[in-house]
Amino acid sequence: MDLDEPAPRDVPVTAILAALADENRLAVVRELADGSERACGTFVPEWSKATRSHHLRVLREAGITRTRVAGTNRLVSLRRADLDAAYPGLLDAVLTGAARVSS
């Protein structure tokens, strides 16, 4: 199954920022910032499956995450290198700014 995963350089920076402006999606990105790959179902267990799918789809379609299908699992990872190449410093600035606001 092919998933819509545009290269970050093909996504306007405004679309990336819009995806990251949502606190729920930003929480997912923070969880992936350590370079890990996680199963979709492990993000925010209290979210419904539909809510989780929606937020993960928005991140994927904005070029922020990559979803790898492995059997019946979907594994999500942050596309840090791709984002840094397309928009140097953007992800670090957003994560650093978000950390300041939440502390």
Q: What is the CATH number of the domain that holds 19?
A: 1.10.10.10
In the block, which residue shows the tokens 């405004």?
A: 14
Number of domains in the chain: 1
Q: What is the DSSP letter of 64?
A: S
Question: Residue 55: inside a domain, yes or no?
Answer: yes
Per-residue model confidence (pLDDT) at position 99? 62
d(CA 57, CA 62): 8
Helix (H, G, I), strand (E, B) or coil at 12: coil
Contact 60/2 with Cβ under 8 angstroms? no
Please check the confidence at residue 17 and state whether its pLDDT lies above 90: yes
Q: 94: which 2 tokens?
A: 């957003």
The boundaries of the domain holding residue 94 are 8-98
Looking at the DSSP bridge assignments, the partners of residue 15 are: none
Threshold 0.85, pTM exceeds: yes
pLDDT for the residue 98: 62
